[in-house]
């Protein structure tokens, strides 16, 4: 609770709202003790005195009554009526909601139908109808406002109750022979109460406004009694000649509603854990770059990732997702990057084109060179022109990576038109050609399908077609087959392999599956905790893994027809990258670890293309 309050009042606006509300509440509570004039005593000689006129701090109204006094007493009445309406609406609405939710079935059905019908009214019509039937008056306005808000409570509370009614403790109470009434009062109500209170706190401001509104229309409080609404309503006729009589009650309503709104927003934000993690922040168009240290010199590779550092800054914590990774591909080459989830392989891939979500992602060092040109920190437009045109991505899980509201044909055409000026007809024809290139049958018809209308394998092909749209030089495939079943996976892999041979594509293939690497890749790099621990020709690494981690990873792959053998899972979990141990990150899980493994920096060493980051490798490379 104190943590919640601290969080709430760290929000300056919420604190301000609370302060204003407190001052207003304090003022109206001590109003009877203040040396105020009687709010209802008229003095026609003193009518329409301006604020700060003798003896009247806020002036007087059209009957010469002291405005300050009327304001405080009116606020008292308005708040009292609003809160009373909220209490009544909450009580009746919750009773209805609990009944519907607890008994369920037909009772629920009939009640909720009724509630739906009430909610089909614009609220004021219902309130006006009730006031019309009962006649104008403050009590009747209160009843109308309460009644209008009953459905809101009924629906919310029913939702919560339905969730609770199926729980074990309710069944237990039933088995213990308790009656319905007792179960509702002793078991259900205490659990629902917090929800009722929150719903009430979010609607009370609204109800104060609604009752003020009815009084403004002349349907609520009747003279001489005045709440804020009727003060404003009465002052309206003198709006042009004596505006202060309108402004005074108007500002008060505004202050009350705004402070309640601010406080309510603060409460909602403080209760929402996503805000604290920064997860509600919008990712920028490119990853933030705060590069320190030297920029590595250019090489003649097609694409070279050089000593890349990418971090996530969440609050005061820093997660070093990628800690100095260097990779390179030449045309026509396929490089596999392999590692467990959380090893930093996807972040490495996304860093290439500045696609790491930022916030919280920050690239803090290194370079990514495409044909020698450094892309880290390059202007947005430079990056955009290369994205999808020279370097294209294929993502995992095409259901979430394809836009649900565009047809696949539109999405493909867009990929083309983002880089080439072509007419819509041409782009569409090209899109259909791409779909048949990735062996989607009946491509012309499929182009008009939405992603959700296609199978998983089909969607992945669309993803590949999209990556091929502009005949890029490099494709970065981030676990493109993980979500697919084995036969589809094999088809997709051979498709990629063909494309590589036919078009001289360079592919960076990210996966956690050594079987896939063996099938497709010329070279492989093994990542662990944000760093490369071993690299080399695929066959060499598979035949004689040098790093204990690689050896264990290969041992995890089941062999078809290999007979029954113990599959060796690696004990323990990868370390959290916000708190990496010194020395080898794998040491805590390694059966060969020595004391020396846990100190100092261990270099990636060996004769190219082989290298390993281990003091006691399985084989010397």
Long-range contacts for 442-446 (Cβ within 8 Å, ≥24 apart)?
446/408, 446/409
Q: Is 303 exposed, middle or buried (CB count within 10 Å of its CB: 0-12, 13-18, 19+)? A: buried
Question: Which of 243, 572, 582, 600: binder of another protein (CB under 8 A)?
Answer: 243
User: Per rule CB under 8 A, is residue 88 in the interface with another protein?
Assistant: no
| Binding segment (CB under 8 A) for another protein, from list 45-53, 58-66, 102-110, 118-126 | 118-126
Give me the 480-519 binding string for another protein, x by CB under 8 A, dash otherwise: ----------------------------------------
- Least separation, in Å, of the C-beta of 294 and another protein? 29
Alpha-carbon torsion (422, 428, 433, 434), positive or negative: positive
Query: Looking at beta carbons only, is 9 or 121 nearer to another protein?
Result: 121
Measured from the Cβ of residue 405, the count of other Cβ atoms closer than 10 Å reads 8
Angle of CA points 506, 324, 293, to nearest 5° = 115
Q: What's the length of the chain?
A: 621
Chain positions 174 to 233 lying near another protein, rule: CB under 8 A, are 209, 212-213, 216-219, 232
Query: Looking at beta carbons only, is 244 or 503 nearer to another protein?
Result: 244
Chain positions 131 to 170 lying near another protein, rule: CB under 8 A, are 131-136
User: Per rule CB under 8 A, is residue 278 in the interface with another protein?
Assistant: no
Strand, coil or helix: what is 435?
helix
Question: Which of 388, 457, 548, 606: binder of another protein (CB under 8 A)?
Answer: 388
- Tell me how far apart the alpha carbons of residues 367 and 295 are, in angstroms, rounded to a whole number: 6
Query: Looking at beta carbons only, is 182 or 403 nearer to another protein?
Result: 403
Question: Which of 20, 24, 27, 118: binder of another protein (CB under 8 A)?
Answer: 118
- Tell me how far apart the alpha carbons of residues 552 and 568 are, in angstroms, rounded to a whole number: 7
Chain positions 342 to 371 lying near another protein, rule: CB under 8 A, are 350, 353, 355, 357
User: Per rule CB under 8 A, is residue 469 in the interface with another protein?
Assistant: yes
Alpha helices in 438-537 (DSSP H): 443-446, 456-468, 486-503, 514-520
User: Per rule CB under 8 A, is residue 389 in the interface with another protein?
Assistant: yes
Tokens of 31: 């109003």
- Least separation, in Å, of the C-beta of 513 and another protein? 21
- Least separation, in Å, of the C-beta of 332 and another protein? 22
Question: Which of 338, 368, 392, 526: binder of another protein (CB under 8 A)?
Answer: 392
| Binding segment (CB under 8 A) for another protein, from list 180-188, 384-392, 422-430, 601-609 | 384-392
- Least separation, in Å, of the C-beta of 448 and another protein? 10
Q: Is 218 exposed, middle or buried (CB count within 10 Å of its CB: 0-12, 13-18, 19+)? A: middle
| Binding segment (CB under 8 A) for another protein, from list 83-91, 173-181, 367-375, 385-393 | 385-393
Query: Looking at beta carbons only, is 216 or 509 nearer to another protein?
Result: 216
- Tell me how far apart the alpha carbons of residues 270 and 109 are, in angstroms, rounded to a whole number: 35
Residue 30 has what DSSP assignment? S
- Tell me how far apart the alpha carbons of residues 533 and 606 are, in angstroms, rounded to a whole number: 12
Alpha helices in 353-403 (DSSP H): 380-386, 398-401
- Tell me how far apart the alpha carbons of residues 249 and 75 are, in angstroms, rounded to a whole number: 9
- Least separation, in Å, of the C-beta of 520 and another protein? 21
Query: Looking at beta carbons only, is 253 or 524 nearer to another protein?
Result: 253
Query: Looking at beta carbons only, is 44 or 423 nearer to another protein?
Result: 423
User: Per rule CB under 8 A, is residue 434 in the interface with another protein?
Assistant: no
Residues paired with 475 in a beta bridge? 392, 507
User: Per rule CB under 8 A, is residue 40 in the interface with another protein?
Assistant: no
User: Per rule CB under 8 A, is residue 239 in the interface with another protein?
Assistant: yes
Question: Which of 6, 452, 501, 598: binder of another protein (CB under 8 A)?
Answer: 452
- Least separation, in Å, of the C-beta of 243 and another protein? 5
Query: Looking at beta carbons only, is 108 or 389 nearer to another protein?
Result: 389
User: Per rule CB under 8 A, is residue 125 in the interface with another protein?
Assistant: yes
Strand, coil or helix: what is 404?
coil
Phi, psi of 70 (to 5 degrees): -65, -35
User: Per rule CB under 8 A, is residue 450 in the interface with another protein?
Assistant: yes
User: Per rule CB under 8 A, is residue 128 in the interface with another protein?
Assistant: yes
- Tell me how far apart the alpha carbons of residues 8 and 70 are, in angstroms, rounded to a whole number: 33
Chain positions 400 to 419 lying near another protein, rule: CB under 8 A, are 400-406, 414-415, 418-419
- Least separation, in Å, of the C-beta of 441 and another protein? 22
Tokens of 528: 């662990």
Query: Looking at beta carbons only, is 13 or 570 nearer to another protein?
Result: 13
User: Per rule CB under 8 A, is residue 258 in the interface with another protein?
Assistant: yes
- Least separation, in Å, of the C-beta of 215 and another protein? 11
Total of residues contacting another protein (CB under 8 A): 79
- Give the burial string for 332-357 (b: 16+ CB within 10 Å, else e): ebbbbbbbbebbbbbbbbbbbbbbbb
Q: Is 437 exposed, middle or buried (CB count within 10 Å of its CB: 0-12, 13-18, 19+)? A: middle
């Amino acid at each position: 609770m104190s943590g919640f309050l601290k969080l709430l009042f760290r929000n300056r606006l919420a604190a301000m709202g609370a302060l204003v509300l407190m001052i207003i509440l304090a003022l109206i509570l001590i109003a009877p003790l203040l040396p105020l004039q009687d709010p209802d005593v008229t003095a026609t000689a003193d009518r329409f005195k301006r604020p700060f006129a003798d003896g009247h701090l806020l002036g007087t109204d059209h009957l010469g009554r002291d405005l300050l006094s009327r304001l405080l007493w009116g606020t008292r009445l308005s708040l009292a009526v609003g809160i009373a309406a909220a209490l009544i609406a909450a009580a009746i609405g919750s009773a209805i909601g609990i009944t519907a939710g607890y008994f369920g079935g037909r009772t629920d059905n009939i009640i909720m139908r009724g509630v739906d019908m009430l909610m089909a009214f614009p609220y004021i019509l219902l309130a006006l109808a009730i006031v019309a039937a009962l006649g104008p008056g403050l009590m009747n306005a209160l009843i109308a406002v309460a009644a209008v808000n009953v459905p809101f409570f009924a629906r919310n509370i029913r939702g919560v109750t339905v969730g609770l009614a199926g729980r074990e403790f309710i069944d237990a109470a039933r088995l213990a022979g308790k009656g319905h009434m007792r179960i509702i009062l002793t078991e259900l109500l205490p659990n629902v109460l917090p929800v009722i209170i929150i719903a009430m706190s979010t609607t009370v401001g609204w109800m104060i406004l609604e009752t003020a509104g009815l009084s403004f229309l002349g349907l609520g409080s009747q003279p001489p009694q005045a709440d804020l609404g009727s003060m404003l309503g009465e002052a309206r006729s003198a709006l042009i000649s004596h505006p202060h009589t309108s402004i005074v009650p108007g500002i008060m309503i505004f202050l009350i509603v705004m402070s309640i709104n601010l406080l309510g927003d603060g409460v909602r934000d403080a209760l929402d854990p996503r805000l604290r993690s920064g997860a509600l922040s919008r990712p920028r168009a490119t990853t933030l770059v705060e590069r320190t240290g030297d920029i590595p010199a250019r090489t003649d590779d097609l694409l070279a990732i050089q000593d890349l550092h990418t971090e996530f800054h969440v609050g005061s914590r820093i997660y070093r997702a990628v800690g100095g990774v260097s990779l390179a591909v030449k045309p026509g080459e396929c490089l596999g990057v392999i590692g467990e989830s959380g090893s930093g392989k996807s972040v490495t891939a996304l860093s290439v084109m500045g696609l790491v979500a930022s916030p919280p992602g920050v690239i803090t060092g290194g370079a990514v060179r495409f044909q020698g040109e450094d892309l880290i920190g390059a202007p947005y437009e430079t990056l955009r022109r290369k994205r999808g045109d020279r370097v294209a991505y294929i993502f995992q899980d095409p259901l979430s990576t394809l836009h649900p509201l565009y047809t696949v044909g539109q999405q493909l055409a867009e990929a083309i038109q983002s880089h080439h000026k072509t007419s819509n007809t041409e782009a569409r024809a090209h899109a259909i050609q791409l779909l048949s290139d990735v062996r989607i049958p009946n491509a012309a018809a499929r182009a008009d399908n939405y992603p959700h209308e296609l199978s998983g394998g089909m969607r992945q092909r669309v993803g590949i077609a999209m990556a091929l749209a502009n005949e890029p030089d490099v494709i970065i495939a981030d676990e493109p087959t993980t979500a697919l079943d084995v036969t589809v996976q094999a088809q997709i892999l051979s498709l990629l392999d063909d494309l590589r041979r036919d078009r001289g594509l360079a592919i960076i293939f990210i996966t956690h599956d050594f079987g896939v690497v063996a099938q497709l890749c010329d070279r492989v790099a093994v990542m662990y905790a944000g760093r490369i621990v071993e690299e080399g020709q695929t066959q060499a690494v598979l035949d004689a893994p040098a790093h204990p981690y690689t050896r264990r990873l290969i041992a995890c792959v089941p062999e078809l027809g290999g007979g029954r053998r113990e599959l060796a899972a690696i004990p323990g979990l990868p370390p959290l990258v916000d708190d990496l141990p010194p020395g080898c990150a794998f040491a805590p899980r390694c059966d060969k670890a020595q004391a020396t493994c846990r100190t100092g920096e261990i270099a990636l060493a060996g004769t190219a293309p082989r290298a390993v980051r281990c003091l006691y490798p399985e084989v010397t490379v």
